[in-house]
Amino acid sequence: MKIAYFDCFAGIAGDMTVAALLELGLPLETLREELDKLPLSGYALDSSRASRHGVSGTSFKVTLLKEDQPHRHYSGIAAMIEASSLKPRVKELAQRIFRRLAEAEAAVHGVPLERVHFHEVGAIDSIVDIVGTAIGLDYLGIDKVYASALPFGRGFVQTAHGRLPVPAPATAHLLQGIPLAGDIGEGERVTPTGAAIVAALAEGFGAPPAMTAGQIGYGAGEKDFAELPNLLRVVLGEVAAARDEEEVLVIETHIDDMNPELFGFLMERLLQAGALDVAFSPLQMKKNRPATRLTVIARKPELDALSSLILSESTAIGLRYYPVRRITLAREVRERETSLGTVRVKVLEGGRVTPEYDSCREIALARSLPLIEVYRIVERETALG
């Protein structure tokens, strides 16, 4: 399994992340071709060599070809990504980052998530940085991301909301629960986009996990700080393809007074918000009432968002959560050619292949075939390699 360790000794920004992925092997032309799948225009991409304190790295720049770029709402950005022809994993990663960013903005400005209006983050360059990061991680085959502690920074930064303290309020919100490093000087060291990337994607923070180190890429930031090189170091590593173990949360509540038609929508919202799994099970409650137990499995950073969803999208007036350990088989989603066309499948430890439901469903509808028959064909043909 391939992992990436983000060594944020000088901080992290969106352009630094894309730059490091370019240095690690993501072709600039591939990045352009993939970004062209979004309905964006009026910008150009450039990558060049850069040096910070004598250390060579790659810089990445987005140049606006027209100044009048629209500000965007979170709902519009999410819809744009979802409607594109980007690969499913790229969409999922980009959506996860943007949602974390939107949640932070909503909390800071005291507005509902759907009304979050992006300024800097909604600009072309930030959309490119976030979606470009997702493209790079997918292209390089990176399965998991880990990160070091992040510097807090000092001073002030000029934003669309005026002069704000470093880190900017949205960045500070995203840094909650993330280990912070010591003082490394004045200036914005972690941008909102950079904070959202690691907050949404990192499996853990601190020292690098046990791994066999491979390539190392340096992404150069735009500024050249006096105290230390303004670089993001990304280390690629390999770990044995074994069972993954991690700590997750189980969130539960019992519901006995809700219209059953609403449960399906609740499940959709929870999965879109980052839940790892959602399940309903029948039970009998006090006064012998038939009821439904809602069980959600999630990672700790998603607790607040998922709890808010449960309490707003259901009749529950409370919930409970507790940590558990889970073990999962290592897996990755790949595309395989079959007699029915290109199908997405999960490849599990030991080479076992299981069809992806959504992909098989699309084929079943397009060809007017029974879904079970599509499964049988895909299982038979992908098992042959």
Q: Which amino acid is at 154?
A: R
SS3 48: strand
pLDDT above 90 as % of the chain: 66
Report the phi/psi class of residue 160: left, alpha or beta, with left for phi > 0 and alpha for psi in -120 to 50.
alpha
| pLDDT, tens only, 181-205 | 877 777 789 999 999 999 999 999 9
Report the phi/psi class of residue 351: left, alpha or beta, with left for phi > 0 and alpha for psi in -120 to 50.
left
pLDDT, average across residues 231-254: 86
- Look at strands 43-52 and 55-64 and give their pairing: antiparallel
In CATH, which superfamily holds the domain spanning 245-328? Transcriptional regulatory protein pf0864 domain like (3.30.70.1380)
pLDDT, average across residues 198-226: 92
Q: Which amino acid is at 204?
A: G
Short-list 356, 131, 93, 136, CA closest to 236: 136
Short-list 272, 225, 31, CA closest to 130: 31
- Give how far Cα 279 sits from Cα of 73, 89, 221, 248, Å: 31, 23, 44, 15
What b/e readout covers 193-220, taking b as 16+ CB neighbours within 10 angstroms?
A: bbbbbbbbbbeebeebeebeeeeebbbb
Could you please report the per-residue DSSP string of 228-242? S--EEEEEEEE--S-
**Can you give the pLDDT at residue 168?**
81
**Can you give the pLDDT at residue 355?**
93
Tell me if the bond preceding 167 is cis, omega within 30° of 0: yes
Cα separation, 236 vs 144, in Å, equals 10
Q: Is residue 117 scored above 60 in pLDDT? A: yes
Q: What confidence category does residue 65 fall into, taking pLDDT thresholds of 50, 70 and 90? A: confident
**Can you give the pLDDT at residue 186?**
76
| pLDDT, tens only, 67-104 | 766 778 888 899 999 999 999 999 999 999 999 999 99
SS3 62: strand
Q: In whole numbers, what is the pLDDT of the chain averaged over residues?
A: 90
| pLDDT, tens only, 290-337 | 999 999 999 999 999 999 999 999 999 999 999 998 888 777 788 888
E strand map for the chain: 2-7, 43-52, 55-64, 72-73, 117-118, 144-147, 156-159, 162-165, 202-205, 212-220, 231-238, 244-255, 277-284, 290-298, 320-328, 331-338, 341-348, 353-355
Cα separation, 264 vs 74, in Å, equals 23
Cα separation, 202 vs 4, in Å, equals 9
Going from N- to C-terminal start, the domains of the chain cover 2-238, 245-328, 331-383
Short-list 271, 149, 137, 274, CA closest to 204: 149
Q: Whole-prediction pTM value? A: 0.64
pLDDT, average across residues 3-32: 97
